[in-house]
Amino acid sequence: MNILIMGPAGSGKGTAAKKIVEEFLVAHISTGDMLRENVKENTELGQQAKDYMEAGRLVPDDLINAMVKERLLRDDVKEGFLMDGFPRTLVQAKAFDEITKSIEKPVEIVINLKVDVDTLAGRITGRRICKNCGAIYHIKNAPSKVEGICDVCGNPTIQRPDDTLEQLQVRLSEHAKNTEPVLDYYREKGLVKDIEAAKSADEVWLDIKQAIDTVK
Ligand code: AMP
């Protein structure tokens, strides 16, 4: 299966992505995670992307497209992929068409997670992630056993520098400006499945699984 998952920051995309990957055994390709890895390793790409990311703005298309193109050449994509956080602009969507054509893996479904702004704000400002292993917590909805410490690896959990209300506003307006046209692009191709995602993670998962099973 070749799947795209879309939804603004706080829509539960990360949690849903993890489940999709486990269930459908596809390669999880998160451009946000790849970029954060590059920033952490201080690569040339990381240095170029860092300021955009900290400001909640989109990293330029050519950098992202090159990164995704290279990633899709790896062996683990054989059984399919879950693209998470990409494409975020029409330029990226069109470049992605070319890439998927060249590897003969067309997008089969676009999962669109829909959540109202107030729910997003609560989710974003309470989100904490493990600096070391990337595990995700929420101070109210899914706290770690010991406050500020990751259950999985025992390292400190932190708030991502872009997980503030101010950055949420920037990211939501970026999302509306750039990503809505991407959704329309895939809607015209008849690939989009809208999922009401302000519900519990378990309920959302059932809807997602059903949507993917129907196109499988
Ligand atoms: P995410 O974890 O998906 O919210 O991504 C974190 C940040 O990485 C975003 O706010 C952007 O600065 C950058 N980023 C991730 N994916 C893309 C993309 N497809 N295009 C441009 N910038 C991206």
Give me the chain's average pLDDT, please: 94
Which SS3 state, helix, strand or coil, does residue 149 take? Answer: strand
For 6-42, write each residue's pLDDT tens digit.
Answer: 998 788 888 899 999 999 999 999 999 999 999 999 9
Distance 206 CA to ligand 1 centre (A): 27
Q: What is the pLDDT of residue 111?
A: 98
What's this model's pTM, rounded to 2 decimal places? 0.85
CATH code, residues 2-116+165-213: 3.40.50.300
Q: Which of 4, 35, 61, 92 to mutate to test the pocket of ligand 1 (most atoms within 8 A of CB)?
A: 35
> Average pLDDT in the 94-107 region?
96
Distance 5 CA to ligand 1 centre (A): 13
Which amino acid is present at 48? Q
The Cα–Cα gap between 193 and 173 comes to 22
Domain residue extents for the chain: 2-116+165-213, 127-162
Structure tokens at 67: 């990164």
> Average pLDDT in the 51-67 region?
93
Return the number of other C-beta atoms located less than 10 Å from residue 38's C-beta. 21
What is the percent of the chain with per-residue pLDDT over 70, rounded to a whole number?
100
Using the atom order of ligand 1, give the atom closest to the CA of residue 92: 19
DSSP letter assigned to residue 142: B
Local confidence band at 78 (pLDDT 50, 70, 90 cut-offs): very high
For 175-206, write each residue's pLDDT tens digit.
Answer: 888 889 999 999 999 999 999 999 988 999 99
Catalytic residues: 13, 88, 127, 160, 171
Which SS3 state, helix, strand or coil, does residue 180 take? Answer: helix
Which SS3 state, helix, strand or coil, does residue 112 take? Answer: strand
List 81's β-bridge partners, or say none: 2, 27
Sequence-ordered list of residues with C-beta below 8 angstroms from that of 99, at least 6 positions apart, any chain: 65, 68, 69, 72
Is residue 127's pLDDT more than 90? yes
Which amino acid is present at 25? L
Distance set, CA 99 to CA 83, 85, 90, 107 (Å): 13, 16, 14, 11
List 2's β-bridge partners, or say none: 81
